[in-house]
Amino acid sequence: MEIDPLPNGTGSTAATTTTETTVTATLPTAVSNTTPSSKLSQLTESLKLEHQFLRVPFEHYKKTIRANHRTAEKEVSSVISSVADVADSNEISKDDAVLSLTSLVSRLQGLKRKLEEGSRTENLQVQNCRARLDHLESVDAENLSEWNNVRFKRILVDYMLRMSYYDTARKLAESSKIEELVDLEVFQEAKKAVDALKNQEVGPALAWCAENKSRLKKSKSKFEFQLRLQEFIELVRAENYMRAILYARRYLAPWGATHLKELQLVMTTLAFRSNTECTKYKVLFEPKQWDFLVDQFKQEFYKLHGMTLEPLLNIYLQAGLSALKTPYCFEDDCTKEDPLSQENFRKLAMPLPYSKQHHSKLVCYITKELMDTENPPQVLPNGYVYSTKALKEMAEKNNGKITCPRTGLVCNYSDLVKAYIS
Amino acid sequence: MELHSLKDSFDRVAKKRKVSYSKTHEVTDLIVQEINKAIKVMQSSTLEYKSELAELKKKLQEVSPLNQLEGAQKKLNIALIKYPKALEKVFNRDISKAYQNIEFDSPIVNQIIASHFYRQGLFEVGDCFIAEAQDAEAAVAMRSLFQELYQMLEAMKSQNLEPALKWAAANSNKLKENGSDLQLRIHHLQFVKILQKGSRDEALKYARTNFASFAGNHMAEIQKLMGCLLYSDRLHESPYAHLLSPTNWDTVTDELTRQFCNLLGQSYESPLSATIAAGIQGLPPLLKFMTVMAGQKHEWQSMKQLPVPVELDKEFQFHSVFVCPVTKEQSTDDNLPMLMSCGHVLCKQSINKMSKNGSKTFKCPYCPTDIDLTQCRQLIF
C-alpha cells in the first residue's frame, strides 16, 4: 500500500475502468499488510533477536570443557613431575619407589573416572545446545502462536532469574515444561554469590572471580578490586585499623597501578569514623554499597555468559510500549484492549518516545476494525468518519438513516462521502 | 529459519571435543602403561631400579603427554572461536542497543507481571512470585477477580456446566446489553449433553424451562435444537452430528472468557503479553536504525518520538493514526486531516501551504481536481 495512484473519484470513465479492474485484481493479496511472505520475514527478523538463547548454553559448555581440560592437564603434569621427583631422588628405596609409582597409577585411574563424569556432563550440555537450535528451526506458520507463547514464557523466566526470584523461575519453567530452553542451571552459579553479597559477605563472589580470573582480566574488569575495597571498608567500620592496613597492603596495593584514585579515596576512610557526616566518605559507608556490588556482580556475570545486560523483559517492554504509545492512549475513552489504557502501563510509558508511523491506519469507532480499501471510510456531514461496513449495517436497520454515535447527528446514507486514504 | 551451517559449525565443536577427549584418555593410558611396565620390571628383578626410574622419566619426556594434550586442545579452540562468530553473523549480538537508560520502576513491573499470572489462571506461580518479589501485593486483587473464571473453566473441562450457568444467569442482563448470547449457548451445550445421555424427556423439560426467554431473538437456533429431539438416541448419525463436536465447547469457553473479562472491564488479551508481542515486532526496525546511526545514541534518547516508523500488525492498532501523504507527519490537534472535494485527504498544514493560506486554488496531488480551501472539511476519526 505504498505510493500507488489512488482511485480517482472524478476521472475519465476509460481510465477509471482500467484502474478499477487492476485494483480488484490485486485486492486479494494487497489488502492486509501481513501477507504470508511478510509474516514469514517478520518471523525471521524476530528470530534474529535470539542470540542470548543460543549463546548462553554454548558459553556454559565452553566453560565446562576448559575446566575439565585444565583438570586433566594439571593432573597429568603433576604425575609426570612426581615421576621425575622419584627418579631424581637419591635416598628413596626400591619399595618406596614402587609405592609412589603405584599411587601415581591410581591417581591416573581416578583422573579417568573424573574424565568420564566430565564427559557425561558435557554431553548433556551438547544436547542442550542442539535442542535450542532445533527449537528455533521448529517454528512455522502452524505452530506460530504456540511458539510465541513459549517465547513469552522464556522471557518471563529470564526476568525471574535475573531478579533472583529463583523459585518462581523454576515453577514457571516446570509448569510449561521449558526447562531445557531456560538457564536455571547457569543462574545457580550466580545464586551463591548474590545471596552472600546480600548478606554482606564477599567470599563466594571472590571465589567466582578466581574461577574466572583470565576472562575477567581480558575484559579489564575491576570487580575483584571493588569487592576488596568493600572488605576494607568493613574493617574500617569495625575500627580494625591494623587489620585494615594489612589487608590493603596485601589485596589492594596490586590494583594501585591501574586504579590509584579510587584506591586513595577508599584508603582515606581510615581517617574517618563510619558515622562521619562528610558526604564524600559517608557514601562509602552506606549499606547501599552492597546493593551496588550485587548489581556489579550481575553485570559481570551476564557479560561472561553471553547474556544481555538488561532483562529481556525490559528490552521488549520498552520497545513495545513505545511502539504502542500514541497521544490517544491517554484519553479517557481509550479502548480497554489497548494496554496503555491501564494505569501501570501508562506510568511506565511516560518517559518513553511516542510511536511513529509512515502510513495512515484508521480504526472505525464503531466496529474497531481497520478501515482500508476493502472497508473504506465514509464521512458524515459533520466531519465524523466511520467504516462503510458499520454505516451500511446501521442504514439497513434504520431505513437508510445514519445516527452519528458521538454527536447524535442524523442523516441519510446517501449524504455520506467516501474518503480515499492510502 | 535455516540453521544448517550453524548446526554444522556446532557439530564440529562437539566432534573436536570428542577427539581431544579420546586423546586425553589415550595419553593417560599411555602413562599408566609405562609406569606399570616400570613397576613390573622393578619388582621382578633385583637389579638397578634407579636406572629403570631414569628410563621411565626419559620415556615420559619423549612421549611428551602435555604437548599432545595441548595439540588436540588447540584444534578444539579454533572450533570454539568459530562457532560464536558464526552465531553473531546470523543473530543480533546486542539487542539492547536501542534500549534507553530509563529505569523501570520495579514495583510497577512486578505488579504487572503478578496481574498477568492471575488473569492467565497461573495462581500458584502468581502466589510464589508475590512472595518472592515482595513489592507486588497490589496485584492480589486480580486473583480473586479471576479465580471465579478459572473455577468455571475447570468445571467445564470435566463437562460440568453448573458454575457457568449460574454465572451467566446472574449476569444475564449485562450479557444481553453487550449483545452476547452466551447464556443461550451454555444452555445449548447442556441440552445436547442431556440428550446424549439418551433422556429425551429430561431434555424436553430442560428446553421448556430455559429456552423460552431466548425465543425472541434466537428462534432459528432453538428450532434446530428442538429438531435434535427427534434423534435423541442416535445424534451422531443425524444431520445434527456437528453439535457433538468438542469445538463447540471450545467456542463457548472462549466466549465465556471474553464476556467475563468484558464485564470486569478488563481486556481479553493480557496487556503484558500484548505489549511484549508488540515489542518483538517493533524491536528489529529500531535495532536496524541503531546500527546505521551507531554514533548518535545519546541524541535520540531524549526524543519525543521514535526516530523510525514501526509498523505493527493490525491487532495492535487501537487508535486511528492519520499520516499526511505529502509531509509524512502524523496529524495532531493543531493539524487535523482535511477532506478535499475530490475525496482525498491531506493535513491542514499541507493544504494551507499549497493554497498559500487560502489565497489561491491548487491541484490535488493525486488527481487533477482544483481544490479550494474553503471547501475542505475537517475530519474526525
Question: Residue B333 sits in a domain of what CATH number?
Answer: 3.30.40.10
B57, B90, B123: which is the final residue of a domain? Answer: B90
Chain B residues touching residue A344 (CB < 8 angstroms): 108, 111-112, 115
pLDDT average, residue stretch A150-178: 96
Chain A residues touching residue B2 (CB < 8 angstroms): 137
Residues of chain B above pLDDT 90, percent: 41
B60 domain-assigned: yes
pLDDT digits (tens, 9 = 90+) for A134-159: 999 999 888 999 999 999 999 999 99
Q: Is residue B343 predicted with pLDDT exceeding 70?
A: yes
For residue A416, the tally of other CB atoms under 10 A from its CB is 20
User: A interface mutation test: which of B15, B310, B371 has the most A CBs within 10 A?
Assistant: B310
pLDDT digits (tens, 9 = 90+) for B114-142: 999 999 999 999 999 999 999 888 889 89
Pair B86, B6 in one domain = yes
pLDDT digits (tens, 9 = 90+) for B1-31: 779 999 999 999 999 999 999 999 999 999 9
The better pLDDT of the pair A182, B246 is held by A182
pLDDT digits (tens, 9 = 90+) for A56-107: 999 999 999 999 999 999 999 999 999 888 888 878 888 888 888 899 999 9
pLDDT digits (tens, 9 = 90+) for A277-306: 888 888 888 889 999 999 999 999 999 999
Which pLDDT score is estimated for B97? 87
pLDDT band at A178 (very low <50, low <70, confident <90, very high): very high
The better pLDDT of the pair B301, A259 is held by A259
How much is the pTM? 0.88
CATH 3.30.40.10, applies to A360-421: yes
pLDDT average, residue stretch B261-270: 92
Number of folded domains that form chain B: 3
Which pLDDT score is estimated for B296? 63
Q: Is residue A29 predicted with pLDDT exceeding 60?
A: no
For residue B119, the tally of other CB atoms under 10 A from its CB is 26
B74 domain-assigned: yes
Contact flag B279-A317 (C-beta cutoff 8 Å): yes
B90, B116, B133: which is the final residue of a domain? Answer: B90
Contact flag B57-A83 (C-beta cutoff 8 Å): yes
Distance CA B180, CA B173 (A): 10
Q: Is residue A1 predicted with pLDDT exceeding 60?
A: no
Q: Is residue B213 predicted with pLDDT exceeding 90?
A: no
Are A102 and B39 in contact, with CB atoms under 8 Å apart? yes
The alpha carbon of residue A216 and the mean position of all alpha carbons in its chain are separated, in whole angstroms, by: 22
B352 domain-assigned: yes
Nearest to B301 by CA among B94, B100, B104: B100
Contact flag A360-B266 (C-beta cutoff 8 Å): no
Chain A residues touching residue B369 (CB < 8 angstroms): 10
Chain B residues touching residue A36 (CB < 8 angstroms): none
Distance CA A229, CA B121 (A): 47
pLDDT band at B39 (very low <50, low <70, confident <90, very high): confident
Chain B residues touching residue A360 (CB < 8 angstroms): 321-323, 325
Are A197 and A294 in contact, with CB atoms under 8 Å apart? yes
pLDDT average, residue stretch B293-305: 68
pLDDT band at B301 (very low <50, low <70, confident <90, very high): low
Q: Is residue B42 predicted with pLDDT exceeding 90?
A: no
What is the average pLDDT value for chain A, to the nearest integer? 88
Q: Which amino acid is at A304?
A: L
Chain A residues touching residue B317 (CB < 8 angstroms): 361, 363, 370
Question: B197-204 — which CB contacts under 8 Å span 24+ positions?
Answer: B198/B232, B198/B233, B199/B232, B200/B229, B200/B232, B200/B233, B203/B228, B203/B229, B203/B232, B204/B229
Lowest mean pLDDT, pick from A133-137, A189-193, B211-215: B211-215
Are A403 and A395 in contact, with CB atoms under 8 Å apart? no
Chains A–B, number of C-beta pairs less than 8 Å apart = 369
Pair B86, B9 in one domain = yes
Angle between helices A184-198 and A288-305 (to 10 degrees): 160
Are B320 and A361 in contact, with CB atoms under 8 Å apart? yes
Distance CA B313, CA B319 (A): 13
Contact flag A175-B122 (C-beta cutoff 8 Å): yes
Domain hosting B14: range is 2-90
- Cell output for B116: 498477568
Using DSSP's 3-state secondary structure scheme, residue A401 falls into strand
CA of B207 to nearest chain A CA: how many angstroms apart?
A: 31
Which pLDDT score is estimated for A187? 95
The better pLDDT of the pair B301, B27 is held by B27
Contact flag A33-B303 (C-beta cutoff 8 Å): no
B156 domain-assigned: no
B206 domain-assigned: yes
Contact flag B280-A94 (C-beta cutoff 8 Å): no
Q: Is residue B345 predicted with pLDDT exceeding 70?
A: yes
Distance CA A229, CA A248 (A): 8
B234, B264, B294: which is the final residue of a domain? Answer: B264
Are B377 and B338 in contact, with CB atoms under 8 Å apart? yes
Contact flag A49-B95 (C-beta cutoff 8 Å): yes
B136 domain-assigned: no
pLDDT digits (tens, 9 = 90+) for A386-397: 999 999 999 998
